[in-house]
Amino acid sequence: MWPLLMKLFLLVCAAYATGILAQHFRQSAIVGYLLAGSMVGALLFNYGTIASVAELGVALLLFSIGLEFSFQQLKALGKAVLAGGALQVILTLIVFAALLVLFVPVSQAVIIGSAFALSSTAIVLRVLLDNAQMDSTRGRMALGILLVQDLAVVPLVLLVSLMGEAGTVMTAALRIGKTLAAAGGLVMVFYVMFYRLIPRLLKKQGLFANRELTILLAILSAMGAIGGAHFVGLSPALGAFLAGMLLAESPFATQIRSDIDAIRTLFVVLFFTSIGMLLDLGWLATHIHLVLPAVGLVFVIKAVIIFGILKMTRVDTQVALATGITLGQVGEFAFVLAAAGRDSGVVDPNLFAGVVSVTLLSMFLAPYMVGYADPLAEKLGVRLFKRPLTSSIRNESSGCKKALIIGFGPAGRKVAGILKGMGVVPEIIELNPSALESADSQGVVMHLGDATKTDVLEHAGVHDAAVVVVTVPDSRTAAGMIRTIRTLLPNVKIIARGRYHRHLSLLETAGASLVVDEEQMVGLRLAETTVGQLSEMDLYATACRMVGKNPPSSPSAAGEFTPEDKSAEGKPTS
């Protein structure tokens, strides 16, 4: 037990060190994890020891990806992007399979073509986000195609597993029918559990706000889906993805994804280090003359296919070129498909080593290609199409800035109401599910989640916010939110509610641009109200003396005035 834990500790330490080194060279940390596995993992473990943990990491990764796949989000991408993404996967698979069938059997060619059809979601989205390009036209195009690619992983894994099954056409048909029937039954069970029961359970008063219970429920949901899929003979990754996709329809999806992020990160790190263990450095050194041209060929073919598909949908030339360059690499799920083909006996060890080597080098180059896609597309556009750079790249903007309100209690509702009256429709982040009805009645968009979490803030579009208003009464919680926001956006305006005067410095130190001192504001309002009442009483007493009457001890005692009655303007009623 303890020797195994010590080995895991050393492996994670190596992954951390190589991850830092990779980021120093403007690489994705994923590349560092792969290198840690290839250099250290092979010395500590054999692949079989850590393979089951890595499989769990893939399943959790697909669960979190499924949480991004709400049907509303897919619909928002548009039919052109969805159809283009599906066409890209199919065409890329066919082209690579057609090329490879000249050298290897058809089954191997199809599996490798499937692997090369996928790009790296983790690396591409990270670089686009770091460069504030997620809302650019290129970013939206890339995101749409990546989402379709991730969705295609499930049927591709199923295809690879079926190709490993020996037998007649009838046997294969029965296998497909059995798989589809099991998947259908699983979807029905998952629909009831994740679309109906769990959202209702989370809406119970206080449960969603309790992070410990919600985290446990999220982990149980993911593990239950993985175990259920395995029980009926399906891929655990498929079960995790289906569960995540059904939960994505609920307003709790963002927070659940954030809650499992830490444990998912650990297992995903182990997954990438285990994949790194598959890299045969000796094989790579002796075959580098084949691997490097293969990496270049894969990049060119994928970029050309994506460019052609986007041009068919009438996307601007430079944007289409930049998107093709952005997605020209091979992604992390290529390892999954290649490993599935190897484990089923279809892919031989030499070919498997080649796929791993090509994919790893492709991922190593990916951050540079994503980062320099726009200027490279400009040069290629001028050289190949004799066209100058269009404004779609040069002058892109992220659209209108918005106001983001954190907390939807009485203070948050008041701010939202006033902003709406001015023609500004704010968006809300709130942890309490019972506030959903109030948000709907006011016609504002509300994101359920903990605003101290980066994932929740990014999902709510904090990068598009011109101002963030923190109305949470607890100063320490508000300070944590402000620190997280300030880390993401160093220059955004943050207006915070300071409930107690003694906590103002805490909020200012956290990074608030302006703190509204609640105690001072209450004092001012009390003083104004008191002065107003005194003025009303003086005016009433004066009026009474003019008609020769003695005024009562207070205007309200005579039933003629109340503090809320402003219509009398200090004059007595008859």
pLDDT, tens digit, 9 for 90 and up, residues 103-116: 888 888 888 999 99
Closest by CA position to 460, among listed 480, 431, 419:
431
Instruction: Give the total residue count for the chain.
Output: 574
Q: Exposed (0-12), middle (13-18) or buried (19+): which is 528, by Cβ within 10 Å?
A: exposed
Write out the H or E segment, with its range, that includes residue 141. Answer: helix 137-163
Q: Tell me the backbone φ, ψ of residue 567, rounded to 5 degrees.
A: -75, -25
**How far, CA to CA in Å, does 79 sit from each of 83, 351, 467?**
6, 37, 33
Q: With contact defined as beta carbons under 8 Å apart, do 146 and 128 qualify?
A: no
Q: What pLDDT is attached to residue 166?
A: 53
Give the model confidence (pLDDT) of 446-504 as tens digits. Answer: 888 888 888 788 878 888 888 999 998 888 888 888 988 988 888 889 999 988 888 88
State the CB neighbour count (10 A cutoff) for residue 104.
17
Closest by CA position to 402, among listed 492, 473, 507:
492
**How many degrees, rounded to 5, is the angle at CA 304 between CA 298 and CA 308?**
150
Q: Which CATH architecture has domain 402-512?
A: 3-Layer(aba) Sandwich (3.40)
3-state secondary structure of 258: helix
Q: Exposed (0-12), middle (13-18) or buried (19+): which is 149, by Cβ within 10 Å?
A: buried
Residues 351, 329: Cα–Cα separation, whole Å: 19
Contacts of 244 (CB under 8 A, 6+ apart): 62, 63, 64, 65, 66, 67, 69, 222, 225
Crossing angle for the helix pair 288-312 and 317-326, to the nearest 10 degrees: 150
State the CB neighbour count (10 A cutoff) for residue 270.
23
Residues 15, 29: Cα–Cα separation, whole Å: 9
- Type of residue at 565: D
Q: What fold, for 2-385?
A: Na+/H+ antiporter like fold (1.20.1530)
Contacts of 60 (CB under 8 A, 6+ apart): 222, 240, 260, 263, 264, 267, 268
DSSP per residue, 502-515? GGHHHHHHHT-SEE
Q: With contact defined as beta carbons under 8 Å apart, do 324 and 310 qualify?
A: yes
Q: With contact defined as beta carbons under 8 Å apart, do 131 and 118 qualify?
A: no
Residues 199, 189: Cα–Cα separation, whole Å: 15
- Type of residue at 267: F
- Type of residue at 289: H
Closest by CA position to 337, among listed 251, 470, 263, 237:
237
Q: With contact defined as beta carbons under 8 Å apart, do 405 and 427 qualify?
A: yes
Q: What pLDDT is attached to residue 29?
A: 80
Place of tokens 């890329």: 92
Pairing state between β 493-498 and 427-430: unpaired
What are the residue ranges in the chain where pLDDT is below 50?
167, 389-399, 554-574
Pairing state between β 465-470 and 402-406: parallel
**How far, CA to CA in Å, does 363 sit from each of 124, 289, 290, 322?**
10, 18, 17, 17
Q: DSSP class of residue 465? A: E
DSSP per residue, 74-95? HHHH-HHHHHHHHHHHHHHHHH
Write out the H or E segment, with its range, that includes residue 492. Answer: none
Helices within 400-510 (DSSP H only): 410-421, 436-442, 454-459, 475-488, 504-510
Exposure of 228 in the CB half-sphere (CA atoms within 13 A): 22
The domains of the chain are located at: 2-385, 402-512, 527-574
Helices within 261-409 (DSSP H only): 261-277, 281-286, 288-312, 317-326, 333-343, 349-371, 373-385, 391-394
Q: Which residues pair with 447 in a beta bridge?
A: 429
Torsion angle of the four alpha carbons 348, 349, 354, 360, in this order, in degrees rounded to the nearest 10: 120
State the CB neighbour count (10 A cutoff) for residue 216.
12
Q: Tell me the backbone φ, ψ of residue 145, rounded to 5 degrees.
A: -65, -40
Closest by CA position to 7, among listed 261, 339, 274, 356:
274
State the CB neighbour count (10 A cutoff) for residue 297.
14
Pairing state between β 493-498 and 465-470: parallel
Sign of CA dihedral 531, 532, 537, 542: positive
Closest by CA position to 136, among listed 399, 387, 466:
399
